[in-house]
Chain A
Amino acid sequence: EPEVTQTPSHQVTQMGQEVILRCVPISNHLYFYWYRQILGQKVEFLVSFYNNEISEKSEIFDDQFSVERPDGSNFTLKIRSTKLEDSAMYFCASFVQNTEAFFGQGTRLTVV
């Protein structure tokens, strides 16, 4: 069964450092999302990406965040200067329109 793959599974970084979280969506999917889940809290939408551009973003997705699909297969989330409050589980999701979203296993980001 096809699946969304995220790497790394766990990343520890120092405050102020840049991190890149990587996702390989399912190959024929067209819509890509990043969500995050701070420990003990609800899953929150960050950004959606379609046709090589951001289609929607939440207020969480400020100038510190960026997304890219550099090579037609990977989908990355970059945080330029991490803060303690960026510590969370980050989920990538992909889908074809009007079907369910397929989620990756997540990357646990710990900012110290």
Chain B
Amino acid sequence: AQSVTQLGSHVSVSEGALVLLRCNYSSSVPPYLFWYVQYPNQGLQLLLKYTSAATLVKGINGFEAEFKKSETSFHLTKPSAHMSDAAEYFCAVSLVGAGNMLTFGGGTRLMVKP
């Protein structure tokens, strides 16, 4: 079975600072990995995905993530935080050939201080 752990339920950064949201996964077979963002009172929007092509994945809004198999990690980064980045971020894993059922991490709430 697969699982996802997001370290830090809350992360606070200053506007313009680096954003780093951590995600570690566990899976017995090659995974697909995703980051979703949820703005207040809204649904889940895909930020980026890893599906076994390039290990460094670029997404929307300046975010990127790097798949590191040796560390079983898929951390999300953004060089410079913007106030509009304040939201909840979810890392998710699905297994290749397993119907694409997503298993989500617990989420990380990103707060951006002016």
Q: A residues 42-92 with Cβ under 8 Å of B? A: 42-45, 48, 50, 55-56, 91
User: How far, in angstroms, from A56 to B94 measured CA to CA in the complex?
Assistant: 14
Given that A55-B99, A100-B34 are known contacts, is A42 also in contact with B45, CB under 8 Å in the complex? no
- The number of chain B residues touching the other chain, given as a range, is 20 to 34
| Interface bits B79-114 vs A (CB < 8 Å: 1, else 0) | 000000000001010000001111111110000000
- Cβ A44 vs Cβ B104 within 8 A: yes
A25 within 8 A of B: no
In the assembled complex, which residues on chain A have CB atoms less than 8 Å from the CB atom of B102?
33, 35, 43, 45, 93, 101
Given that A91-B43, A105-B43, A106-B43 are known contacts, is A45 also in contact with B101, CB under 8 Å in the complex? yes
* Pairs A–B under 8 Å by Cβ, sample size 29: A31-B99, A33-B101, A35-B104, A42-B106, A43-B44, A43-B90, A43-B92, A43-B104, A43-B107, A44-B104, A45-B101, A45-B103, A48-B99, A56-B99, A91-B43, A95-B100, A97-B100, A98-B51, A100-B34, A100-B46, A100-B49, A101-B46, A101-B102, A103-B36, A103-B43, A104-B43, A105-B43, A106-B42, A106-B43
